[in-house]
Amino acid sequence: KPCPLCDEAKEVLEPYKKRFILQEVDISLPENSEWYDKYKYDIPVFHLNGKFLMKHQVDIQKFEDQLVKLELQND
Domain positions in the chain are: 4-73
Question: Is residue 47 helix, strand or coil?
Answer: strand
Interval 33-67: pLDDT, tens: 999 999 999 999 999 999 999 999 999 999 999 99
Return the CATH number of the domain spanning residue range 4-73.
Answer: 3.40.30.10
Nearest to 5 by CA among 49, 41, 46, 56: 56
* pLDDT confidence of residue 75: 79
Single pTM value for the model: 0.85
What is residue 18's DSSP assignment? T
Burial status of residue 59 (CB atoms within 10 A of its CB: 0-12, 13-18, 19 or more): middle
